[in-house]
Chain A
């Protein structure tokens, strides 16, 4: 983008302004919601809201291609990946939000506000009267896609290629940190598992959540007769959630049969 192209409008169009002032606070609310919500799934969903808002901004600023990419790739692929992981890990397993450091919350709030004010004021002052240059000139021949492709393969070719190294590193890192290699001999087939189960003292399947369960999810243990969770009903690799106390039975004898 070069300066001086004053062919475009000198000011922001009303449509754009209205869209911004509606979607902007929504996106901001999404960001704040993501930071402040207790539930991890809720947090991810708030972030999806913010991403969608950003997509809308791209659309409004004459970059439809980027807007679509934002929604499809970022929101659709990456955020969904986040959600998968969160569900696997267990929606109740969240860290304690009690702040142990004295003054951390307060200082963080103050710093955050100061930061926002400083940067916001600075940038606001800088762009207050800046001329508005749309993307007409940049996407003159061929539109969005062609323009992006052009600079991607000339000016930013190396950045593009180098990102591949980043991706490889990420893939290798994921493998290293998450993939437990089992020796081929170690893998137990279904037949092995079945034989082992019948040889053990408990050939039946593991107990499901049971009658008094309030949830079907994998991280809910089964309840034994005395109200305690059954230890062997825990799925491996997942942290079992705490069960709410079983409500006391009504022990007043019913009319009729004395016992």
Chain B
């Protein structure tokens, strides 16, 4: 170890930051182990623990803000005390993790409250809150860990929680399949992360952030690029980026709060967190950063295109999430110029996407859990609060001026364009096009859901959701509106994150910001107009129209992503499995059964020597004694 970053030791109030993880874990344990007895009060415990965690988070962040060195490390215990592989478990509270813990516990807490109402009629509600708390604990560990191994533990934990929650209604085959798909695709990404950790340990001898980031310069160029790509693979898995994006839309099989918290606001942002945290490594490799940015751009396009052709309201939002995270990847792929901006978009996206999902859940709740937008229509008057909060979220997402999305998305587009050259134009152009498509599909969603003629099924009586569900939506709507403004102008996020990412380089603007804003707004307007023309003005068919253009067919089929996965990975995988099963059955089982048969046959045959006749036995003994005598003589005289 040549250099380490000196984090301040956690003292005073901050020495208890482990409570942030302990409280949800304990609550999860109680909820999951208590059984049916806890059904009556389980949800309250679940919400209470997250509320307490949120309060603590606020307290810790405020305390942190008062320190000079805003990076506090708390060592907990020695996790792997093997010579040569010392891994200590510890937590790191610095500006980046502070931001995340507020997001996780704050938005998480609101969604917990929402779930009380949403899951009120579900008899597994207690179990749901147990898994939910488990998720929060794991996610907090992920962002608070002070080493890559701690991050990995949290990483796996959120993966587990995601699996459990997607398949919450495990009796549904679709849910079970979706959960398996999510887990397996996550696993593919995890391999990348794991190898990256091994590589770090092999080259630098440690996985603690202090050691790794302090000695990052010691990494050879090739190693740094390899690390960058491996970490990117892990991030793509967790965040649902190309080529591992197929699981995220399918994950909508889970209950809507799950989609809101895990697959919109927090877990899928873990990839962004990973790349942002590993900034010192990425800063060493331009090619690595380029790959990240390209992946981001490609994904945002895929997300937009696919989202245009979906009729399931949650699937549209899911592809929207894929696309928006593409924006974040694009941002962090731009280097120090984009880290803070990407995080800013992450935060604002957390607010409005969570709000949109909760709104979708509210709509589904009022429409007897119907998800097909073709069966919605004219809900604006029936569900006023939902409509209001949903609209605010929608406006924030498409980047309506001065709402939160506007700030974050425009900054990303600016930063992309500021790269200059072909890179800047391509990335920036993709981002702008994406903004337009986003506006298109979101407006389409709004029109199909809240406006137009009512296309409801028989027996559906849309009604507003109870207060326990609408209150969090309102709070999130506030966030959707004001978060951007606050985080840019009042509590500048860039400044707050400066200790982590370093100062944002002043780049010469290729286009003046105001021009960029105008272009983006114009594109957005075009998108809205197109949606009005193609969707708003025409009759919305109740069933999916056939005979559409190939682009729409491709978009419906998720741009053939699933088909590709199936033919390239799944089928060969199945053949391999069948072959191995065959080898196991014939070869291994054959060997085992063969040994058993040999023993049995030998036993029967040998057993015939025991024929019950004394003279046979006596002959055997005489023979045996001859052998003993002969052997002894041979040993003695041989």
Residues of chain A whose beta carbon lies under 8 Å from any beta carbon of chain B = 101, 104, 107-108, 111-112, 114-115, 118-119, 122
Contacts and interface: CB of A to CB of B under 8 A. Distances in A.
Contact of B619 (A104, A118, A122): A104
B615 interface: yes
B611 A101 contact: yes
Contacts of B613: 101, 104
Interface stretch (B137-145, B399-407, B625-633): B625-633
Interface of B: 611, 613, 615-616, 619, 622-623, 625-626, 629-630, 633
A114 B611 contact: no
A101 B626 contact: no
B42 to A, nearest CB: 77
A119 B629 CA distance: 8
B625 A115 contact: yes
A107 B630 contact: no
B616 A112 contact: no
21 contacts: A101-B611, A101-B613, A101-B615, A104-B613, A104-B619, A107-B619, A107-B623, A108-B615, A108-B619, A108-B622, A111-B622, A111-B623, A112-B622, A115-B625, A115-B626, A115-B629, A118-B626, A118-B629, A118-B633, A119-B629, A122-B633
Overall SS of chain A's interface: helix
Contacts of B611: 101
Nearest to B613: A101
Contacts of B619: 104, 107-108, 111
A115 B627 CA distance: 9
Contacts of B623: 107, 111
Contacts of A107: 619, 623
A87 to B, nearest CB: 26
Nearest to A99: B615
B451 to A, nearest CB: 101
In the A-B complex, the 3 residue pairs with the smallest Cβ-Cβ separation, listed nearest first, are: A111-B622, A115-B626, A108-B619
A122 B633 CA distance: 9
Contacts, number: 30
Contacts of B629: 115, 118-119, 122
Contacts of A101: 611, 613, 615-616
Contacts of A114: 626
Nearest to A117: B626
Given A104-B613, A108-B622, A118-B626, 20 more contacts: A101-B611, A101-B613, A101-B615, A101-B616, A104-B615, A104-B619, A107-B619, A107-B623, A108-B615, A108-B619, A111-B619, A112-B622, A114-B626, A115-B625, A115-B626, A115-B629, A118-B633, A119-B629, A122-B629, A122-B633
A111 B616 contact: no
A114 B628 CA distance: 13
Contacts of A119: 629
Nearest to A100: B613
B242 to A, nearest CB: 80
A78 B611 CA distance: 34
A156 B326 CA distance: 103
A122 B626 CA distance: 12
Nearest to A112: B622
Contacts of B633: 118, 122
B620 to A, nearest CB: 10
Contacts of A118: 626, 629-630, 633
B625 A104 contact: no
Contacts of B630: 118
B616 A104 contact: yes
Contacts of B615: 101, 104, 108
A179 B622 CA distance: 35
B480 to A, nearest CB: 98
A111 B627 CA distance: 10
A111 B625 CA distance: 10
A118 B626 CA distance: 8
Nearest to A108: B619
A115 B611 CA distance: 23
Nearest to B625: A115
B609 to A, nearest CB: 11
A104 B615 CA distance: 8
Contacts of A108: 615, 619, 622
A101 B614 CA distance: 11
Contacts of A112: 622
A122 B637 CA distance: 11
A114 B629 CA distance: 11
A198 B226 CA distance: 121
B622 to A, nearest CB: 5
Contacts of B616: 101, 104
B338 to A, nearest CB: 94
A122 B623 CA distance: 17
Nearest to A118: B629
Nearest to A122: B633
A115 B616 CA distance: 16
B614 to A, nearest CB: 11
Nearest to B630: A118
A128 to B, nearest CB: 15
B629 to A, nearest CB: 6
A101 B620 CA distance: 13
Contacts of B625: 115
A119 B622 CA distance: 12
A57 B619 CA distance: 30
A122 B613 CA distance: 31
A119 B628 CA distance: 12
A222 to B, nearest CB: 37
B613 to A, nearest CB: 6
Nearest to B633: A122
A158 B176 CA distance: 83
A217 to B, nearest CB: 30
A106 to B, nearest CB: 11
B637 to A, nearest CB: 9
Contacts of A111: 619, 622-623, 626
A81 to B, nearest CB: 24
A104 B622 CA distance: 12
Contacts of A122: 629, 633
A134 B622 CA distance: 34
B638 to A, nearest CB: 13
A55 B611 CA distance: 40
A96 B613 CA distance: 15
A42 B533 CA distance: 129
A112 B613 CA distance: 18
B256 to A, nearest CB: 84
A150 to B, nearest CB: 35
A118 B623 CA distance: 12
A111 B623 CA distance: 6
A108 B616 CA distance: 9
A25 to B, nearest CB: 24
Between B616, B619, B623, B625, the greatest number of chain A beta carbons within 10 A of the residue's beta carbon is seen for B619
A104 B623 CA distance: 12
A112 B630 CA distance: 14
B151 to A, nearest CB: 77
A115 B630 CA distance: 9
A118 B637 CA distance: 14
A101 B630 CA distance: 27
Nearest to A115: B626
A114 B622 CA distance: 10
A164 B613 CA distance: 33
A46 to B, nearest CB: 20
Nearest to B632: A122
B310 to A, nearest CB: 85
Contacts of B626: 111, 114-115, 118
A4 to B, nearest CB: 24
A183 B158 CA distance: 90
A118 B631 CA distance: 11
A114 B613 CA distance: 22
A119 B633 CA distance: 10
A101 B608 CA distance: 12
